Structure 1
Amino acid sequence: MVAIPKNVMDLLAAPDAVKVIATVSADGQPHVIAAGTIGAVDPNTMMIGKVLTKVSSDNIKSGKKVAFLVTKGLESYSINAVLKDIQSSGPVYDAVNQKLAGMHLHASELMFFDVTAVFNQGANPEAGKQIA
């Protein structure tokens, strides 16, 4: 299991960081979206809530592998992951939906992923280097 480094965890928690997920359809078509429900549950587990993400959700269920990107300014990291669980109840589900309620949104389910690799993708000489 791969652990997300602390500086990347901090960036994932930053409310002004942009978070993106990339998936691939069963017929090989890439699909990339920004999503506010992307986050890390712990250093080994990424998550996204299913809110207006039908294509991404379908791709995840068929292909299991995803790539996340988190970026702010010149700092940027990609996180490769594989689907581990889908939940539509529980304490994390309730907490996510409590936050979303303030925006009049609701996640019908949460998808959890095991992290398989983390790469520096920032605008610096270390761009492309695997860091975890």
Structure 2
Amino acid sequence: MSLINHPLYDLSTMPVVHISAEFMRFSGAEWVQQTERLLAKKCAFTLIYPELHFPLEKNEAKQVENEDAREARTVIAKWLRKHRDEFSTYCKAIILCSANKGCTDNLRQGLERMYGVSIMESTAEQATQLAKEIMSAS
């Protein structure tokens, strides 16, 4: 399912940028295109990812989704290898929303290496305030 005409990033509260709850459905090419548009603004920002919810699905559908997700991660990783410095110049932090503190611990180190920015965890209710604090400190 292509979401090319749907925004990945909600820029209405820039420099606090909320990522679409459908972010896992975007292809790698769609992510790259929309991320390049965000970076072209040449403004500092903080990204807030919504809380992840994994519905139970049939194994076959899950396998296809995993293949799509794997392909998207590969495209994004290749892009970040070339553009990590530019990305980290403008992105001051990534905040992962989670109702259960500590659930993103396994992700944090890998994501920090991949994106080149600090990865933080927050509840959805506190994420915007945390992002504003990060931006005022930058």
Q: TM-score, normalised by structure 1?
A: 0.28
Larger Rg: 2
The answer to which structure has the higher strand fraction is 1
Q: TM-score, normalised by structure 2?
A: 0.27
